[in-house]
A and B are shown apart, each in its own frame.
Chain A
């Protein structure tokens, strides 16, 4: 199709519309200075930390009881809401920005839930659609044993995440309400079956959303595990067991997914794959090459990070945990703008789901507005927030890596610090470079 369209475009004059992506304010900002500054800060922090005799202790305060065990009720409500959303996806408006299935999943579940969890602890634990139905099903079936899935460890979650990232970045229409509803229900059913067989605790290892959101929530300064805790962001990460091979695959895949999601839209990538960045052909034309790209970025990320860790003689299992901070910062920075744009459609649809003038959230009907993206000051503030998230995440990762590595020679950290400087530059570059999609 791409070749046919390109051929037509070249032979028939007038076969091109006078429209393209809107002008970008960010391209006029001096982000180069920011990137150099951030790289320097990360490098200096890494070097001084490596040479320091002692790193600051991660203090944690415990308080209060655990609070009522409400997960059984809240996840049941979440399950009911999930079924309702699937119905809306199939039967509701076809326009994705007016359909709550698309909006609640891509803006609510994929962005708002992890971002909030980074501040107040793991929310997915309370609102995932499996815990309650799995519990009920196992009781009704009188099932209390396992089915032997434990031996696969986190690999099912790796497979799930890989499939999800392909769906999100490469598949033809992940926003289509009916497509999304069918995909979600199919996935839910598979996981439901496996979890009923194995036990609800399996979700913590085998279901990718549960694994990912729990990992991202580990940067939260506030968390509850029987008692409430308040500590430095990342304190939880220091107490996690070392990542297994599957865990390392999972973390590198999550990072690669974020990286490629951004990279695939850049002028740079479009030029590499032979697409005109001013007239992108469409997702349908690049499915093969973007599948390859996603896999390649995963491979490079995994190989590169492991090489840098091992080059210093450090153990990858524990040290790779430090990259959870980077994944959290990337996730927040990468999806911030979408939260502000699609988030408006989500609020409008929650406020007035039937489009007849209701105000369920008490908000007056409003026009969704993207004017803020053309305002230089606002764009600078947004970039500043993204910058803070990326830089903060990398500084945290540097400190965590130093602590997780245990006793080691200072120079052992150099390659990994170099990798983190590179990741800082890459992340900030992705946020500010020209995009054709």
Chain B
């Protein structure tokens, strides 16, 4: 199949797509589109700064999705381009990047940022410039009502839903007395507050909350605080010291009795669970947003998505089995791009004058079935809170691989609306 100026070999094709090749020349069916001005989307990328590890996979996934969208004919018959700008994972630069993308580059909409403090620092500018701002952040800040009507999160569920939805299965299968170990700052408090509330609603009890100062790099002195009657140890340590944490936890329990252990894959995104030093995690459970190991019942959409992004059956790069992806987060970029396409097509988007109609079209969305556009799974969009809900997964580490043992219902993670953006002015 010849497209454009050259025909890449099959093996190279995926890589070129991943590199964004074909944006400039070749790869685009030039003939029919020579007349159409492209749809320009801005991507606020964490290329440098603390988000760079996620940014690398976000860019790769966005490029893969872009290629699929253009191969399908683009949006409203127009080719799509993405302009990537680095925000340095910095809120002040984020606001500047929003400005650059909206005003200088003339982007129709902006998507992509992940880190909460950056989203919070950038979203107001998007509101002022009246540019649709679709974040891939899993933060509760969108649905909390803190942001504005131009900001939406249709591609990834939020941490409140994630944490809340874990409680029913954990209570029913692992135990009712929970000890939580979490870092002593906002992220840890989210888990502490949402899970404690959800556990109580399921008839369980959080018997200890061990908050660890973020500056700590060794945890042995905190572990004796875990009460002996703990049935489930819930851990959400993040950052450079996670491997040390697992090692010390393993040394603490040794080969003796230990409670059931439940964690979030955020602790170990981009890390192989089978790595030396993580043996203690065997038999423990993790929340995943998207199972990094291809499960036995994986459908065609999952297979297609993995091939497009260049990820193998273990969730690592096809070119390097040690380069594990941020599988539970990066699908957000893919699904958000397809939501942008759906929104622009539903609203007949022709240009920036239609930005408001575009946001309203997304607000009108409700059920999103599992499909090539939504490989993580079916979703339900809440047009009032601008937040999407979906399935969460619980996996067990078996033989060094995360195997799914449970899929939550969407209702498991739902919570009362805190805001109705659709009644606000633009």
Contact = CB atoms under 8 A, between A and B. Distances in A.
B241 interface: yes
B137 interface: yes
Contact of B114 (A17, A98, A267): A17
Interface in B59-104: 59-60, 83-86, 88-93, 100
A5 B18 contact: no
Contacts of A28: 243-244, 247, 277
Contacts of A238: none
A374 B270 contact: yes
B48 interface: yes
A367 B26 contact: no
Interface residues of A, number: 66
B329 A279 contact: no
Interface in A1-52: 1, 5, 8-10, 12-25, 27-28
A22 B243 CA distance: 10
B217 A434 contact: yes
Contact of A278 (B8, B45, B93, B238): B238
Given A12-B141, A172-B88, A371-B316, A357 B159 contact: no
B277 A9 contact: no
A289 B138 CA distance: 31
Contact of A23 (B141, B187, B241): B241
B277 A278 contact: no
B86 A95 contact: yes
A278 B321 CA distance: 27
Contacts of B85: 94-95
Q: Give the interface size bracket for B toward A.
A: 35 or more
A348 B20 CA distance: 12
Given A19-B115, A357-B6, A365 B90 contact: no
Q: Which of B26, B185, B277 has the most CB of A within 10 A?
A: B185
B16 A14 contact: no
A87 B405 CA distance: 54
Given A5-B120, A95-B45, A371-B324, A21 B18 contact: no
A85 B154 CA distance: 39
Interface residues of A, dominant DSSP = loop
Nearest to A4: B121
Contacts of B194: 13
Nearest to B92: A284
A92 to B, nearest CB: 11
A24 B49 contact: no
Contacts of B19: 348, 352, 355, 365, 367
Contacts of A372: 320, 322
Given A5-B121, A94-B83, A437-B49, A21 B25 contact: no
A355 B59 CA distance: 15
Contacts of B160: 13-14
Nearest to B85: A94
A275 to B, nearest CB: 9
A423 interface: no
Contacts of B238: 18-20, 278
A357 B264 CA distance: 39
Contacts of B12: 357, 364-365
A96 interface: yes
A376 B239 contact: no
B298 interface: no
Top 7 nearest A-B pairs by Cβ distance? A14-B140, A282-B90, A371-B323, A371-B322, A16-B186, A284-B92, A24-B240
19 contacts: A12-B141, A14-B190, A15-B144, A15-B146, A16-B159, A18-B190, A19-B269, A20-B187, A22-B270, A23-B268, A172-B90, A278-B183, A278-B187, A357-B21, A366-B15, A374-B270, A434-B217, A436-B50, A437-B50
Given A9-B186, A16-B139, A278-B185, 10 more contacts: A19-B54, A27-B217, A98-B84, A172-B90, A276-B214, A284-B93, A285-B90, A369-B317, A369-B322, A371-B321
